[in-house]
Structure 1
């Protein structure tokens, strides 16, 4: 009698940690005597962790199921990989200005590299390294400039590029733009002046790049390296002294000249060798390196000698010719001049150290000594504006020093305005602005005009403050670590604030006040003083006249209330108007000691 088949259930674990059941028909002799050909499998797949007798049908079924699972696993992995690829990388520097509008798809490693370069250079050197050196720029000229024609015979041009620790790709892009956008018949030389860079890449790689440029343009590029840092003025003088072309264009190395930039410059200087010109600047954004067109404006400055843009003069607007040169009181960091004329008026003042004021010094000298300055609307140069200047030096030291040097040489009886703006005492300032005897002698030799002439004929927008009897920080005897401050802007509430040397705490004591100043005012009610436009306050009957003597109280002439301070429950001092308790005030720089009637001016 044949043995009866036995039915048994075998449970095995698979590699994917599932439990499967195999239902089989077994005899005591094993698989070969089973009446059933195969054993049905009650799960989708498994990988046996044990050993069972081989059955051909079972093995084929197992392989089919395992293949299906492999395909499923592969598909699932591909989906997960695609999700991972499409998922934005984690932002490592969410507060960095570099990544506000750029860099969303950068990997973490790329973000680190980009941020390191940004901190080093102050602009997106990582992106610059990816961009072609001969990239296309939008033509930002007015269409009437495009239609304008120039003489076929023009002076030769030498381009001077000044740099100190720039990114190599930025310098290469500047060089390439000059070569590709300047007619070869006009471009005589490109002179690079390295003001003692510490960037090793600029010491070796740049020399190799220059050799490559000169292979295509023999003798075009020259390199001059300073053995110590000398500053912008001296670096520009170095380039000027090495030039041989009839006209020199002195540029920063973080620029890209635009199409047709050179012809307007050369044509204008050919007409008048005593004019020093500037192209119109466009902006290269520090993060995206995209070009942003700037409108036309003239170049000016304030009493700290910081550059600013001013409105176009009515005389130019009345010409109704957008291609005409624009008379400008000053020039910024990019200029072009007849090489010999620039030497005749003394080039740049080599006594201006490191950074600041050198452009204003040149501008005053040009105007006061027989030249003129113009902006050329049809010449456009794109300038890369750094987010920050990565220099280790404290530039404020040089800014103050250079400003005082300019004031002492060129500003005559108005020099006190620079001292006032920087909150520096006129006597014993403690600032060494260098030997100015040679520049004073140059001024006499050139028979230069006065600064008063300059203000009246060239820059009437620069308003001096007249009749100053005191200026600077004002301190109260109760706490000399805090100073009178104009408070938040916009706003008209003066406050007491820890003392610093910046303009919100530069108070001017004058008599009389100018119409566009803001005067300290006693409203006549309440205890809070205000800063009001002097003309408006006077017309509305506000009380803006004060009596003061150094080291005494500040008393409003009309209300007889005193400007004093009172300690708040928070521990901070508040500025108040109240019945006089004879608190004493001192102003940093006094010009008259007698008791006076005055206006207290905040900065506009």
Structure 2
């Protein structure tokens, strides 16, 4: 009897051991399956890549516990603040400075620097997130962060306002450090004064000073080289972080270290410092001039305004990435100089080499977009480093698609030596990266529809001069920034005018800046009269179709058969209004008209729409 009981006992132990082994094998298999599903389902919770670091810090191993990261007491305390610019409201000075001094200061900084000095560096911002964001919870155990901010001659109050917003609105247990990289500034206040200020008010910040001007890319790499946080967050030096901006970024990276996340970028007005949403969001892209463009959100992206969505191309200035993954990707190509192309290179690498790029609508960061007067000229650099950077990116990552970039540039790239690309090509091979065709077909699948890689055969081009006000020409009134177009004095050189007065009625039947992908359209679609704005060209968009009637000299807005472009010389604007035959302000002349092509205009319309022109 005793022997029989002993045998039963050993059988029981054997069953337990075998069951345990089977359980462990099944657990391991399920973990692998979860990892494979992760990129398609960001809600899956697994042990994060940085757990080994959190264990060293003595934190909980649980990666699935959720937490509300809102600092409600801090938000309530901020809400009591009063003063100029508080709550992100538009501001102006009752007693403005000398106009010439104000103009010089604005030109030096690209924004209203004098007003910046009057606004608190701790100002209150409006919480413009979707309501659902305020109820979101994220992992209680999130990775630590190193924020890298390069700057050169940044205005002092704009820079320290950026720092205060980060400290005030980032959980202290997550913010490991802020690394400021001074790219050889020569302003006095950015030396000893900044050192003292940071030491007294921003203890988590440290400053690295470069021995010579090296540009954005090298400055970022210098900061990353000193970073110790699990996640790198790259920011510009003139931003303001909004409420609970950090956890939505880190949560997605904690799920998968190969996920790179961008916040929604809000607009801080360069004149008034008003804080507002740019729009409901968009997906990044590029045209075949390598200008950054935006694609509309997909229908699925709009189902829940709080959910992250995939983004083909980052805008480049503001994003979060695992430090480990950044180095695995080879960081930035160290052959890229100053700035230009770095956001394309990194975006291509992320997607083609096994990662993904997301925008997180519940994370918002305001950014000052500098005005047209600002010009960041780097002393001693008159070489074309931007196109050289573009060529390096195209040669390594774009396969045969690079020829669309080269053909658009009319021989520019043929004269440029891209340098040694051996290391970058070896990296692409080592990481088993996919083809650029895969990227276009699976990630940026609507890019070629919006920005088709085509030639430059124009129906008409050059300066567009008003007949009724013959000294005035159609002008973008500055760099294209989705603002109103108008009239300016015509450039004397009619054959080679400035890019702001060089137009094309293009083969896509739109009115665009010649050789570029910025097009004219009505500001108020469907209205009887409307101002005209410059916008990203969208091939086939009926709201961007134009026609030039040689007999009447009308520029007709073809989606609306009775609307024509009219000059308003009294305020230097242009509008769309009902066409009038005997009014010279509706008449325009192009420097060049291709009569043969214009005879074929209606035959080449994509939808063969007939416009009444007689």
Q: Above 0.5 in TM-score?
A: yes
CA RMSD of aligned residues (A): 4.0
Matches within 5 A, 1:325-344: 325-332=308-315, 333-344=317-328
In the alignment, does 2:495 pair up with 1:498?
A: yes
Equivalent residue, structure 1, for 2:399? 412
The residue number in structure 2 matching 1:97 is none
Alignment partner of 1:315 is 2:300:
yes
Aligned to 1:205: 193
**CA distance in 1: counterparts of 2:96 and 2:463, whole angstroms:** 46
Contact 2:440 2:447 in 1 (8 A): yes
SS at 1:382 equivalent:
strand
CA offsets 1:144-203 (integer angstroms, 9 cap, x no match)? 101111222111111111211101111111111111111111111110011121222212
Give the deviation of 1:472 after TM superposition: 8.3
Give the direction of change, closer, same or farther, for the CA distance of 1:576–1:431 in structure 2 (3 Å limit). closer
Per the alignment, residue 239 of structure 2 pairs with 255
Q: Is the contact between residue 245 and residue 363 of structure 2 (CA under 8 Å) also seen in structure 1?
A: yes
Cα distance in 1 between the residues matched to 2:548 and 2:117: 59
Q: Which residue of 1 aligns with 2:162?
A: 174
CA distance in 1, matches of 2:391, 2:422: 14
Offset, 1:136: 0.6
Contact 1:521/1:531 (8 A) holds in 2? yes
Q: CA deviation at 1:248?
A: 1.1
Contact between 1:520 and 1:599, CA under 8 Å: does it hold in 2? no
2:389 alignment partner, one of 402, 405, 409:
402
Distance 1:522 1:498, change over 3 A: closer
d(CA) in 1 for partners of 2:276 and 2:453? 43
For 1:429 and 1:178, locate their aligned partners in 2 and report how far apart those are by CA, in whole Å: 45
Shift in CA distance, 189/245, structure 1 to aligned 2, threshold 3 Å: same
Aligned twin of 1:438? 423
User: Displacement of 1:497 after TM fit?
Assistant: 5.2
* Per-residue deviation, residues 533-558 of structure 1 (Å, max 9, x unmatched): 9xxxxxxxxxxxxxxxxxxxxxxxxx
Aligned to 2:64: none
For 2:382 and 2:129, locate their aligned partners in 1 and report how far apart those are by CA, in whole Å: 35
- Report the CA distance between 1:222 and its aligned residue: 1.4
1:429 and 2:414 are equivalent in the alignment: yes
- Distance in 2 (CA, whole Å) between partners of 1:107 and 1:325 is 43
Deviation at 1:412, TM superposition (A): 1.0
1:507–1:600 Cα contact (<8 Å) kept: no
What residue ranges of structure 2 are gaps of 5+ in the alignment? 1-89, 465-473, 476-484, 487-492, 509-537, 559-588, 597-602, 607-614
Aligned pairs, how many?
Answer: 423
Long gaps (5+) in structure 1: 1-100, 475-482, 534-570, 579-597
- Greater displacement, 276-285 / 230-239: 230-239
Distance 1:195 1:521, change over 3 A: same
Is the alpha carbon distance of 1:443 and 1:486 closer, same or farther for their aligned partners in structure 2, counting shifts above 3 Å? farther
Match of 2:95 among 106, 125, 132: 106
CA distance in 2, matches of 1:444, 1:287: 48
SS in 2 for 1:224: strand
Q: Could you tell me how far 1:206 is from its partner in structure 2?
A: 0.8
Give the 3-state SS of the residue equivalent to 1:249 in structure 2: strand
Give the corresponding residue for 1:277: 261
Q: In structure 1, the residue corresponding to 2:285 is in which secondary structure?
A: strand
- Distance, in Å, in 2 between the alignment partners of 1:396 and 1:456 is 35
Q: After superposition, give the CA deviation of every residue in 1:236-292 in whole Å (9 maximum; x if it has no partner).
A: 112122110111111011101111001111111101110110000111110111111
Aligned to 1:137: 125
Alignment of 1:76-225 (within 5 A): 103=92, 105-106=94-95, 109=98, 111-213=99-201, 217=203, 220-225=204-209
Indicate the SS of the match to 2:448. coil
Partner Cα distance (1:240, 1:168) in 2: 23
Q: Secondary structure at the match of 2:214?
A: coil
SS at match of 1:252: coil
CA distance in structure 2 between the aligned counterparts of 1:486 and 1:455, rounded to whole angstroms:
35
Q: TM-score, normalised by structure 2?
A: 0.61
Partner of 1:231: 215
Do the aligned residues in 2 keep the contact of 1:196 with 1:228 (CA within 8 Å)? yes
* Residues 342 and 506 (structure 1), Cα distance of their counterparts in 2 relative to 1, 3 Å cut: farther
Are 2:449 and 1:452 equivalent residues in the alignment?
no
Query: In 2, Cα distance between the equivalents of 1:239 and 1:401?
Result: 24
Q: Deviations over 1:408-465 (max 9, x none)?
A: 22111111221233x2327x72223333222122111111111111110000222188
Are the aligned partners of 1:304 and 1:403 in contact in 2 as well (CA < 8 Å)?
no
Label 1:429 to 1:134 Cα distance change in 2 as closer, same or farther (>3 A).
same
CA distance in 2, matches of 1:400, 1:501: 20
Tell me the CA shift for residue 485 of structure 1.
4.1
Give the conservation status (yes or no) of the 8 Å contact 1:150–1:263: yes
Larger radius of gyration: 1
Cα distance in structure 2, aligned partners of 1:366 and 1:124: 37
Q: What's the secondary structure of 1:179's corresponding residue?
A: helix
Q: 1:519, 1:600 within 8 Å by CA — same for their partners in 2?
A: no
SS of 1:191 mapped into structure 2: strand
Deviations along 1:98-122, whole A, 9 cap, x unmatched? Answer: xxx965632554x444333112101
Is the contact between residue 174 and residue 256 of structure 1 (CA under 8 Å) also seen in structure 2?
A: yes
Label 1:357 to 1:504 Cα distance change in 2 as closer, same or farther (>3 A): farther
Please, what TM-score do these two structures have when normalized by structure 1? 0.62
**Corresponding residue of 2:251:** 267
Contact 2:311 2:359 in 1 (8 A): yes
CA spacing shift, 1:130–1:314, aligned 2, 3 Å: same
Match of 1:365 in 2: 349
8 Å CA contact retained: 1:499, 1:505: no
Residue 302 of structure 1 corresponds to which residue in structure 2? 287
8 Å CA contact retained: 1:164, 1:197:
yes
